[in-house]
């Protein structure tokens, strides 16, 4: 009987669903910005959907995510329970900072979201439209200060492309880089800069409250539910989409990588995640496996070209 009882317990233990790993997600930026929001959204949805029982988020800010990347690559080697949020900004920062650690030193899993850039000014600003801002830029590029995310990131690239499209030397732009979305927002609201640039989600509540004026968005077509022209409509031929990804630690076995990939796929296809995308105004750009590896290589090479154009990479 005792043996039967033990056997039943063991059989029961085996029959229980294999509860996924506890995860620690590194957000390589200060609280408040896009990476932090992505990491905390992952945390919420993974727990809600039963993908993981316990998810922790740690902020490791600095140098466009390259400090968090370097720490993650060296400290988490072989750990299948560690994840890193990154994206287009990190690609630019690796090149701009000439970082010895690159995305080749981690295990990219999937691209998750895309977000278009929004250009804003304080509500009290004399600048009413994107055309006004471009005119001011043409007149004196140095007198127009832009607040955005880290040097060489999507915001910086977008400002460089806007200058180039307007016939202004992109190396003359006055771009002030902030590590977290919260700091850039404070500078714009405090009238310390002429304009701000970031993902629309980071400005949405201030735009709706009327403390910021939205001049344009960087999509090819107008965005549903957002009352603003595209840069193209404003006479600036630029389309930029910032994307965000999740990576696992280096040195994982194929089985460990497959398990992490399966968890992320489950997340990306869940109702909870679709709801987050809708709420945040993020596009669903989920791409995984070999297709993502291929796209990542193309993005790195295209980013290098743009950064050379705007004088950030020699």
pLDDT tens for the chain, residues 1 to 314: 555 444 444 444 443 345 557 999 999 998 888 899 999 999 999 999 999 999 999 999 988 899 999 999 999 999 999 999 999 999 999 999 999 999 999 999 999 999 999 999 999 999 999 999 999 999 999 999 999 988 888 999 999 999 999 999 999 999 999 876 688 999 999 999 999 999 998 899 999 999 999 999 999 999 988 999 999 999 999 999 999 999 999 999 999 999 999 999 999 999 999 999 998 889 999 999 999 999 999 999 989 988 998 888 88
Q: How many CA atoms lie within 13 A of 207 on its CB side?
A: 22
Residues 85 and 35 in one domain: yes
- Asked if residue 16 is part of any domain, the answer here is no
**Dist CA 115 CA 113 (whole Å):** 7
CB of 264 closer than 8 Å to CB of 109 = yes
Write b or e for each residue in 143-179: b if 16 or more Cβ atoms lie within 10 A of its Cβ, otherwise e: ebebbbbbbbbbbbbbbbbbbbbbebebeebebbbbb
pLDDT at residue number 27? 97
CB 21 within 8 A of CB 232: no
pTM score of the predicted model: 0.81
Give the pLDDT confidence score for residue 312 in this predicted structure. 86
What pLDDT score does 1 carry? 54
Distance CA 117, CA 200 (A): 6
Rounded Cα gap, residues 252 and 256, in angstroms: 6
The per-residue pLDDT for 202 is 87
Say if residue 119 is in the same domain as residue 267: no
Tell me the residue range of the domain where 294 lies: 21-112+241-308
Q: What is the CATH number of the domain that holds 261?
A: 3.40.190.150
Is 149 domain-assigned? Answer: yes
Q: Are residues 197 and 265 in the same domain?
A: no
Q: 135 and 219 share a domain?
A: yes
Task: Please indicate, yes or no, whether residues 95 and 172 belong to a single structural domain of this protein.
Answer: no
Give the pLDDT of residue 3: 54
């Amino acid at each position: 009987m005792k043996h039967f009882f033990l056997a039943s317990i063991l059989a029961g233990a085996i029959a229980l669903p294999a509860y996924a790993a506890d995860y620690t997600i590194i957000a390589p930026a200060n609280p408040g910005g896009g990476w932090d929001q992505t990491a905390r959204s992952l945390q919420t949805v993974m727990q809600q959907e039963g993908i993981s029982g316990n998810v922790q988020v740690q902020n490791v800010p600095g140098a466009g995510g390259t400090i968090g990347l370097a720490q993650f690559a060296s400290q988490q080697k072989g750990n299948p329970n560690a994840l890193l949020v990154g994206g287009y900004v990190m690609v630019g920062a690796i090149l701009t900072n000439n970082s010895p650690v690159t995305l080749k030193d981690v295990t990219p899993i999937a691209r998750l979201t895309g977000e278009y850039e929004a250009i804003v000014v304080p509500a009290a600003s004399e600048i009413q439209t994107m055309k006004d801002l471009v005119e001011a830029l043409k007149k004196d590029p140095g007198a127009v200060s832009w607040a955005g995310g880290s040097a060489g990131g999507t915001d910086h690239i977008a400002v460089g492309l806007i200058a180039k499209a307007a016939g202004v030397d992109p190396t003359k732009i006055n771009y002030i880089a902030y590590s977290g979305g919260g700091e850039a927002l404070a500078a714009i609201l405090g009238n310390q800069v002429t304009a701000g640039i970031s993902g629309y989600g980071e400005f949405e509540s201030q735009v709706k409250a009327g403390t910021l004026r939205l001049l344009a968005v960087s999509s090819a077509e107008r965005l549903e539910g957002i009352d603003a022209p595209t840069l193209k409509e404003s006479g600036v031929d630029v389309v930029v989409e910032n994307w965000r990804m999740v990576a696992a630690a280096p040195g994982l076995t194929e089985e460990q990588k497959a398990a992490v990939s399966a968890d992320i796929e489950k997340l990306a296809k869940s109702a909870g995640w679709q709801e987050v995308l809708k709420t945040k105004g993020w596009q669903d750009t989920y791409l995984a496996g070999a297709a993502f590896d291929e796209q990542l290589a193309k993005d790195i090479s295209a980013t290098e070209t743009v950064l050379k154009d705007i004088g950030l990479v020699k």
